[in-house]
Chains A and B, each alone.
Chain A
Amino acid sequence: MFISSQSSAPSFRDFTLVMPAVAVGNVGQLAVDLIVSTLNMSRVGHIHTDCLIPMAGNDPYASSKEDGEELHTPAEVYAAAELKLAVLQIRAPILQSKTKKFRQLLVSWIKSSGFSRTVVLSSSHAYQRDDQQLQGTPLRYLVTPSLLKGSADALKELGWREMERVPAFPGLTDGNTEPRLCIPGGGITKGLYTDSCKEDLPLAVLLVFCSEGDNIPDAFALANHLNDWLHLLDDNSKQPNKWKIPTSWSLLFGNGIPPALF
């Protein structure tokens, strides 16, 4: 359930919601971190639910030690009113037995908040691609019929590749089996997409094929991909790295080196 962290409940009418799916390599979550940190978005509320494993920490986007003392929870909503943008960050894994409940909670919250569209940033196992998926860019998209109505031209212009449906039984030519959508390692991505199709929600999925490891480059690729569509950052800044890495990304690969080693 959404709980506002301010005295008055924020309005998300006609906002675009960007959210991650907890998926392989945590790429969606990392990309969302980049957006919140670069756009300096402010926290407007929490999603307080038993579907997520509890965790807590100080401000992950703090620029200095002094302003970092602010408690942050597993799922929080950030907003930038001037961009009509809201971002949901999920920092903890979803309990295996409660994924369905969590999806329902998200869909009903998205519906009641009146978001104009929702973009899910996700990832999928690179090793489970089929032959056609191996070629070209590792980035894919999916849109629900409801979003396609309004954004068909924009998507055409971008020249993105849609996520391929794969045959249910590869190698068997059986006219009766329809190719199906398969997002291995994508967590709730597929479920959220099919739920949104059923509920007629305008939702898009942007995903990248990746493997676990240092997934920071994948996060940059996904964030840039999203930016091509939503234009969150000025196009003038042609610097190679326009995204701001948050302080919470430090020590991703362990502690400092013991000086006695040398």
Chain B
Amino acid sequence: MAEKRWKVMPPQALSFPQGLCGVMVLHFSVCMHSMFEPLNLSTTIMATFFGEVLSVYSRAVEEDDDELDENEEDEQIRRELEEKREVHLHWSPEVSESLKSGNKLQCSNFVLAVGQNASSFLSVHILSTANWDTIGRASAWNERSRAVTGQSCEESACVFYRHKDNPTVLICQVSCYVAEDQLFQWTEKVFDCLQHRELNVTVLSDTSVADYKTADYLGGSSAPFLRSLHTSAFGDQPVCQSLEQPNIVTGLPAAVLNHCQVHRIAAVVYQCYSDVIGPDSVTMETYKPVLTKLGRSIQLDLSPSTDALRKFVRTTDLQSNLYI
């Protein structure tokens, strides 16, 4: 029998325009499913009275129905979508020339900043010394990418910099969202361009204090704070306390740690738990102890001007109308 029933399923993640408080906008992707399954309208998004949108994680697992023969059109759509979601690296002509001839990027220190605070921290304290060349960027299209005419935000969302005097120091700022299915690929592609010998990887990553699990009650004064997680090959002493059980790291920092662990590369992740949404100077200050380690190979601006800080912090002021 060829009866099929339409089943409405939520996509893996949904994007919400900022400032759309308390209004639920749900895009549903519709897919074919076998009959005799209850019509299942499970939403993975929940809105609270305060307007924040929380994603609710369900542990239920769909039975995979791959005995259901996919028709050619379905397959083609799937293939095209997969192609569109591929991660692309765009290097400067000089770098891509050298990569093409088989020479990987010589790199002793790779600093990766994931999130707005971590990225702004690097901009203020390190990149402001003006000794940096932009050598490339990575782009990854996904459901949270916004279509902007001209220069899309994606183009400036993941940029690689190289130190002018010491070209073995690389910095990457990631402020865009890399989807779950793109994390592995992003890491493979980026690390494929780097020389692995004597490589040290430092990842600064923003996260919300709501994701931090502890038996003690966290008072208002405790956040922001820093926790570290490192691979077995990392021989140094981290600058802060290690991440306690049962906390875990997810996203790009986790993908980088996994890659470095299995390839025996020294890597450390500094995860900053903050109670402020959006960039703020107090959260950025939390990363300062990391500078003492980085300072050996990178020239730093330890006391940036308030103007420089203001430039990065101010941008979110206008966008939130949550507490008007």
Contacts and interface: CB of A to CB of B under 8 A. Distances in A.
A255 B215 contact: yes
A73 B229 contact: no
B125 to A, nearest CB: 26
B248 to A, nearest CB: 4
Interface stretch (A96-104, A141-149, A221-229, A236-244): A96-104
Contacts of B254: 54-56
A256 B262 CA distance: 35
Contacts of A259: 217
Contact of B246 (A48, A60, A65, A188): A60
A53 to B, nearest CB: 5
Interface in A166-203: 169-170, 182-188, 190-191
A110 B74 CA distance: 31
Contact of B60 (A73, A185, A252): A185
B255 to A, nearest CB: 4
A57 B229 contact: yes
Interface in B43-87: 58-64, 66, 78, 82
A217 to B, nearest CB: 16
B247 interface: yes
Contacts of B188: 50
Given A48-B262, A71-B229, A100-B66, A24 B248 contact: no
B245 to A, nearest CB: 5
Nearest to A59: B245
Given A54-B250, A73-B262, A96 B215 contact: no
A22 B61 contact: yes
A250 B12 contact: no
A256 B216 contact: yes
Chain B interface residue count: which class? 35 or more
B249 interface: yes
Contacts of B244: 58, 65, 68
Contacts of A255: 213-215, 217-218
Contact of B248 (A57, A65, A70): A57
Interface string B233-259: 000000000111111111101110111
B248 A55 contact: yes
A23 B61 contact: yes
Contact residues of A: prevailing secondary structure: loop
Given A54-B183, A74-B258, A185 B61 contact: yes
Interface in A50-89: 50, 53-60, 62, 65, 68-71, 73-74
A71 B185 contact: no
A53 B180 CA distance: 6
Contacts of A93: 61
Given A54-B184, A56-B249, 20 more contacts: A24-B60, A54-B187, A54-B258, A56-B257, A58-B244, A60-B245, A65-B244, A68-B242, A68-B244, A73-B257, A97-B82, A125-B60, A169-B36, A184-B63, A185-B63, A212-B58, A212-B60, A251-B213, A256-B214, A256-B216
Interface of A: 3, 5, 22-26, 46, 48-50, 53-60, 62, 65, 68-71, 73-74, 93, 95-100, 125, 169-170, 182-188, 190-191, 212, 247-252, 254-260
11 contacts: A53-B250, A56-B257, A60-B245, A68-B244, A70-B232, A95-B181, A169-B1, A185-B62, A247-B245, A248-B246, A251-B213
